[in-house]
Chain A
Amino acid sequence: MNVYAPIQIALPAVALTLALGVYLVAVADRVMAGVIAGSGPELRAAMLTPLRGAALAFLQWRRATERPDAGGWALAPALLGGLAAFALALVPLGPGLVVADADTGFVAFSAAIAFVMIAVYLHGWSPNSALPLHGAYRYGAQALSFQIPFLLAMLATALPAESLSIVRIVEAQATLWNVVREPVGLPLYLVVGLGVSFWGPLNMPDATDLAGGTSAEDSGVARLLWGAARASMLVAVAAMGAAGFLGGWFGPFLPGPVWMILKTLALLGLILAAGHLLARIRIELFVLVSWAILIPLALLNVFVSGAFLL
């Protein structure tokens, strides 16, 4: 059963959600930074600063490099943002409230996550400059390592649903949420959430030690768009996490979509807090942990959830 919303509803819905989400991420990130630093929330400043920064980006001059791949450079932020929109379109907000209920929702989401690697690599390679290229290769090592644990963690959620459709995966959690059924799944998934938007402890490709990494040569609107695309990826990943592990729209008293939004916000807050509280992880260590610990752990998770279904 494939259900797709008509395009004139789907496009504005996804675009609006992402725009709101990006702004929310920018505000929440500043508020959290203030709280953690001890200077208080400073709500007013946090709400205005992202808008002011965005307006200033339009006035900034465009920096050029020697012989860049102009097409690829312009395409990279659009690709990353497009992938976020694609992933978000697969997430159901409530029963029947979904842009695209594909039979292969899980595989489609995984494909989007895999293409994030391409977007980041393109973004680092196309300016033809040393520091962005370093960032791109860092991300290559990082992303190839977390892909497999991510696929296995998501696969375990498809087992109780006996389907690859995201809607069915949520429906299978009517009595028991996946976060209880397979407690290892959500932490594994959140590692990926940090990874695909290279946030906080996993921000190696755009790190400050590379003067901004893949976005070191970006300026003006291009830089703004890249930041927005990263934030929208974060929103999409949090929404999918809420659907895949926290029972989606199920919850007492409140209507389904409200629960879904609350859960997404909770996951978003968790990821953003991790970005401020955790130290950056060295790539060698991350690769080692991914291959030697996370993959066996994720496999065990699949086996245990399979055993419960027998």
Chain B
Amino acid sequence: MSTEAVLIAAAALFGIGVYGALSQQSFVMLMMGLELMINGAILALVVLWARAAGGNPQGQMLAIVFMTVMAVEMALGFALITGVYRVRRADITEKLRRLKG
């Protein structure tokens, strides 16, 4: 399990996430793309903590901050989906041509 191999796996997860976030129409699927991107980022971060930081605990700390970002993204994302659905009956991005009130 070399550092490079883990980093390449992380890059692959991030790349798939980019593809998903750009290509999906449904809000929920789009969020899954974002999640995969953060997933790859956490993996890269932890391997660098384990292999290149000499065991500095702040590396793990940063990963926890990333997880917070993920939780915030999910919570606000679902709240916005709910809000948008109430006003526009929209469940896909194409319905949001006009972003006004």
**Direct A–B contact present (CB less than 8 angstroms):** no
